[in-house]
Structure 1
């Protein structure tokens, strides 16, 4: 069953077409990867889907309900939650306080119950040892995991991940990928994720969508898309095609 449906999304900025008739569907429990060069429109699409700014045309539905242009906090409470490529924690608050606030935004009361749930999440995502550290002082890898933990505190049905692995070395990526695998396997979380790291795309994706200059130019299985001549030419490069 289709859980998230993106239909005919267009967006322009001062005459520049950032998105052109973008259609993407994500079934319940599915993980769909979005690839494409910087400037292809991937994050702009996430912004349109999650209410950061409205699309010029098109519609977005969540579980059959039209959510086009709805505010981000409303969508989060409906189960559509995103992470940001540039992390946005409350820098003067501790890691535990950041996640506690995210839990409280769901209406969890009293504060002790929210803190207990936040502590459980930190343990699950491997952040408990950083619980009392101010988030602004955390290393990049830890801040990335905090961004994901705050999103999980919203108990998402659909999780939109914007380059959650960016800036991480291979040894730091593996625990995050393991966690995402676990979320889908054990909790059925549906995911739409933007990623440049092809090993992660191959590991996680049920299907892949390739964007170029604001439009979808290829979609399908991981192997089909990554071996598509248009994708190799526009994104992966001839060296990838020769190696494949």
Structure 2
């Protein structure tokens, strides 16, 4: 992984969002360096998923600006942002259940007018092997376990060689072996393909171990940001999210 001080790939400046007068995200500013993993933590309802939805264009912010590689992306459609290099996984894995695992990996390429099927098939096969699903290439996704579907969704985000992957609770409810595979794949993707990751997770110890930087949201605002060990030691994070031990 990169050093925490790497050049910003994704930057958020003063992002705000309201829903019927309720403030979901308030004046959020932070950046994701190139070739880095940034962990996003906070209590339920603190605006983490809303923020991911804003970054990948599902929602438009009411205020603030987002830049990818220095270029403004605020208000762009998810399909446009995917073409620019922003991909996404969700809290519940989203796969095309009637398609095979291999076919699922072709979906992000369908918009390409002149698709070269040979390299595309090799890329898909390599990614299925990368996440350990090579023996399931011809199985329809509905026949895969929940953990395998999560791995398939992750592999699909990598097909287009994204610049940054947004992940929403990737470790929630999965078998420890699936979690180990995901952590390995994330680290290797950073090292080998140069992608960055912005990961929302309540699995704080795992996120601390794998992140270059960490951001904590409390009540829609940034309570702390910086090196993971420093963030989780801050009073505002302990009081607003982690809680205190009785020992």
Out of 198, 202, 205, the residue aligned to residue 199 of structure 1 is 205
Cα distance in 2 for residues equivalent to 1:103 and 1:126: 21
Alignment partner for residue 185 of structure 1, among 187, 191, 200? Answer: 191
Of 191, 202, 225 in structure 2, the residue corresponding to residue 219 of structure 1 is 225
Matched, 1:59 2:65: yes
Name the counterpart of 2:3: none
How many residues are paired up?
241
The CA deviation string for residues 87-126 of structure 1, in whole angstroms up to 9 with x for no partner, is: 2211111111001222444556233442232112111111
The secondary structure found in structure 1 opposite 2:95 is coil
Matched, 1:17 2:31: no
Aligned to 2:74: 68
User: Which residue does the alignment assign to 2:13?
Assistant: 7
Q: Which stretch shifts more, 206-215 or 133-142?
A: 133-142
Question: Normalising by structure 1, what TM-score?
Answer: 0.94
1:53-132 equivalences in 2 (<5 Å): 53-105=59-111, 109-132=115-138
Give how far 1:137 is off.
2.5
Deviations 1:180-233 (A, max 9, x none): 111112222111111111222122111110001111111111111111121112
Distance 1:106 1:214, change over 3 A: farther
Partners of 1:30 and 1:191 within 8 A in 2: yes
**Structure 1 unpaired stretches of 5+:** none
What is the distance in 2 between the residues matched to 1:129 and 1:35? Answer: 35
Alpha carbons of structure 1 residues 99 and 59: separation in structure 2 relative to 1, 3 Å: same
Unaligned runs of 5+ in 2: 1-6
The answer (yes or no) to whether the contact 1:108–1:114 under 8 Å persists in 2 is no
User: Do residues 209 (structure 1) and 180 (structure 2) align?
Assistant: no
Query: Counterparts of 1:113 and 1:28 in 2: how far apart (Å)?
Result: 26
Partner of 1:165: 171
Q: Distance in 2 between matches of 1:164 and 1:112?
A: 31
